[in-house]
Every structure is written in structure tokens, then in C-alpha cells.
Amino acid sequence: MMKAVVKIAPKDGATEIVDKPPPTPGPGDVVIKVKATGICGTDRHIWHWDPSVQFMQTPVTYGHEFCGHVAAFGKDVVDLKEGDYVSAEMHVVCGTCFQCRTGRGHICSRTKIYGLHHDGCFADYVKVPASNVLKLPGRITPRVGGFLDALGNATHTALAADLVGRKIAITGCGPIGAMAGAVCEFAGASELFLIDVSDQALKRSRNWAAMAGRRIPVTVIDTRGEGAAKALALIRERTGDGVDAVLEMSGAEPAINFALEIVRPGGQLCLLGLTSKKDVTIKDYSKNVVFKGVQLQAIIGRKMYGTWYSMLGMLEAGLDVEPIVTAEYDLTDFAQAMATFDRGETWKVVLYPEGKPAKGPTRAA
């Protein structure tokens, strides 16, 4: 028997640590012993049974980002062996539609997400199709291997922009925004502007900006109230006609409009942020969109698997996202972990089925 964190009923809370038999692999499946796994914003929606996740069928095990070691696999699986250190893309796609067959599997309309549609990885063991498993270089610590889906979102968003020698703004500095900042810095950007409207996010961003090892200027900006006008003036002063690209991580209408204000003509917005507000009003459409000649690129998931290879290559070469982990728990302390996360007191939270490491996260929030 194994432990699993299970959403047991379609209502707020309703989550239990359950004992259940570990999964057994089908012919094309891999069963992985989970080493570390991250809490993501979607898990909070599941916890609260928000409208966006009410398509789910309970009971289902939470969790859609993790790393671990291969424990078992089916007869059709090649290129893997017991004990391999791996992670997995938890979006499982059909493989036969136009999108899947033209390198756009990340937008397959038949996508099933493990941890939402099927049992996920907040458990001792998780079962996934071999097609979705990726071997990890040993240099990647479990702490970081535990949230590669989130880092993959950040990587996909950042690499959609032209970064080398460019000035980049990020609107929305939750953990994924911070990861995107790290990717930009690693991949050759020349300057970063981190923008948010929450005291907690701004404080964490300032800590991150001040850390040893930052090689480029990072300016943290609060755009609440009169901050927006000051921010605009500051960015104009530093960039001339605006930033080269904005990574939009918030989904907030004011952030999207601010992004259109601060991007230079011909620049790019990469749109990852989702909004609970149904509609978004673009201000001054003719002036800020059309005449500016901008490009808006919506981002979903991770390119399967181009984003993964780029991300793993960067991590192998030293991309440092450990400071973005600001809380760690035993998996069985899920309720406490979720509560901390729910109060906005932390960036990334990592859970450990075998117990959290003696040494805590590299740097506190």
C-alpha cells in the first residue's frame, strides 16, 4: 500500500491522505517512485473546488509536477530501466490530431492532465505513459526536479521572446514569473523589470533581485496607484521606446494594458497568465496594438518536448531556480503546505513523500 493525497469529493477542502495500492503499469506505462513534487496554483483551485476545475471526477489523486525513479514499466517501453532518475510531462495528448502531428501537441484539444483527469503524483508512486517520461541529468536536484512542469511553463513563455541582449519585463511575479526571470537572465537578456501589485510578491522579488549571482540589472516595480505612471517613466528612461518583450504571467486586465503601454513598437507580449474574469478590455486598441505592430503570443503548457530539452539543457548548465523554492514539507503535511500557499506566504512549495530533506530550502522567503 502507498500514501496518496486525494480529492475525495466535489467540494471545498475534501482532501485526505489515503492508503491505496500502488499503480501497476500497462504495456506502454511507467510507474515512478516519487522523490519530490510541487504544489501549483491549479492544486489550489482543486482544493477550493473552483469553477475552473469542476469538470473533474472525484476521487482523484492531486499532483502534476514531480521527479523520481523508475520503479516498474510495461513490456512496450524502451530506453528506460529501473532506477532511472526521471520526470514526466503530465499533459497526455492524443497523438493523432492535426496539432499533435504538427509539433503542437501542447494545444491538443483532447489533452488529459494527470492530477486532474487521472491520478497524479502527490503519492508514493505515479503511473504515466512512457511517451511522456524524460530522463533527468544528475545535476538537477530533486528540489528542482519537483516542479519542472512549472519551470517548463516559464521556459516556454520566456523562450517565445527574442532574449539575447534584450530588455524584458515580467508582469506577475509569482513563482512562474520568477522562474521566467531566471530563464531570461540565463539565456542572455540584458535587463529585467519585475512588475507586481502584491506586497508579498514584491518583497520576494526584491530579495531575488538582490541575490548574489545576479549578472544583469533587475528592477522590481510596484504598479499600484501612482506607481504605474512612475514605472512607465522609469522604463522609458531606461529603454528609450520601451521594453523588447513582456512576459505576461498575471492574466490581469490592468497588467495586460500596462504591458501594451511599455512594450516598444514591434515588440512582443507572451501571454501565459489566466484570468478568472471572463472578458478583458484592451485600451486604445488602434494605438497600442495595431499601430504599434506588436505580436501577442499565447502560451499553453510546454512544447512537447522542445521546451523540456531546452529547460534540461539550461539546468544542466547551471540555471539556478532553487531560491524560488521558499517552503518544503513532508507529503503527509499537505494540508499545512496548502494553507501556507493559500495565504500567499510562499513562492514554490515542494513536497517529499519520503520526508523533507534535513536542510530546508536554500533561502527563506
Residues 263, 232: Cα–Cα separation, whole Å = 10
Question: In this structure, what are the phi and psi dihedrals at residue 135, rounded to the nearest 5 degrees?
Answer: -70, 145
Residue 315: all three cell numbers together: 539546468
Residues 300, 193: Cα–Cα separation, whole Å = 23
Q: What is the DSSP letter of 248?
A: E
Instruction: Please identify, among the stretches 38-46, 200-208, 225-233, 277-285, the one whose residues bind a second copy according to the rule CB under 8 A.
Output: 277-285
Q: Which of 73, 186, 208, 352 is in the footprint of a second copy by CB under 8 A?
A: 186
Residue pair 158/186 in contact (Cβ under 8 Å)? The answer is: no
Q: Which of 83, 240, 344, 360 is in the footprint of a second copy by CB under 8 A?
A: 240
Residue 254: all three cell numbers together: 490592468
Residue 321 CB, shortest distance to a second copy, in Å, is 14
Which among 68, 60, 23, 29 has a CA at the least distance from the CA of 42? 60
Q: State which residue, 81 or 215, has the beta carbon closest to a second copy.
A: 215
Instruction: Please identify, among the stretches 3-11, 59-67, 264-272, 337-345, the one whose residues bind a second copy according to the rule CB under 8 A.
Output: 264-272
Using rule CB under 8 A, residue 292 touches a second copy: yes
Residues 68, 84: Cα–Cα separation, whole Å = 8
Q: State which residue, 21 or 138, has the beta carbon closest to a second copy.
A: 138
| Chain-centre distance for alpha carbon 125 | 22
Q: How many residues bind a second copy (CB under 8 A)?
A: 78
Q: State which residue, 160 or 324, has the beta carbon closest to a second copy.
A: 160
Residue 281 CB, shortest distance to a second copy, in Å, is 5
Q: State which residue, 15 or 111, has the beta carbon closest to a second copy.
A: 111
Using CB under 8 A, which residues numbered 83 to 122 contact a second copy?
A: 94-99, 101-104, 106-107, 109
Q: Which of 13, 41, 83, 266 is in the footprint of a second copy by CB under 8 A?
A: 266
The answer, yes or no, to whether the previous bond of 142 is cis (omega within 30 of 0) is: no
Residue 171 CB, shortest distance to a second copy, in Å, is 14
Q: Report the amino acid identity of residue 175.
A: P
Residue pair 243/171 in contact (Cβ under 8 Å)? The answer is: no
Using CB under 8 A, which residues numbered 293 to 352 contact a second copy?
A: 293-300, 304-306, 308-314, 316-318
CA gyration radius, the chain: 20
Residues 90, 210: Cα–Cα separation, whole Å = 34
Residue 342: all three cell numbers together: 493559500
Question: In this structure, what are the phi and psi dihedrals at residue 124, rounded to the nearest 5 degrees?
Answer: -70, -35
Instruction: Please identify, among the stretches 63-71, 144-152, 223-231, 285-293, the one whose residues bind a second copy according to the rule CB under 8 A.
Output: 285-293
Using rule CB under 8 A, residue 265 touches a second copy: yes
Q: Which of 51, 55, 225, 281 is in the footprint of a second copy by CB under 8 A?
A: 281
Q: State which residue, 48 or 238, has the beta carbon closest to a second copy.
A: 238
**Residues in contact with 109: Cβ distance below 8 Å, sequence separation at least 6, in sequence order:** 97, 99
Residues 234, 28: Cα–Cα separation, whole Å = 55
Q: State which residue, 296 or 335, has the beta carbon closest to a second copy.
A: 296
Which among 234, 299, 224, 298 has a CA at the least distance from the CA of 255? 224
Using CB under 8 A, which residues numbered 189 to 228 contact a second copy?
A: 189-191, 215-217
Using rule CB under 8 A, residue 41 touches a second copy: no
Residue 178 CB, shortest distance to a second copy, in Å, is 18
Using rule CB under 8 A, residue 263 touches a second copy: no
Indicate which residues carry an active-site annotation: 42, 45
Using CB under 8 A, which residues numbered 137 to 176 contact a second copy?
A: 159, 163-167
- Dihedral sign computed on CA atoms, order 152, 153, 158, 159: positive
Using CB under 8 A, which residues numbered 49 to 68 contact a second copy?
A: none
Using rule CB under 8 A, residue 278 touches a second copy: yes
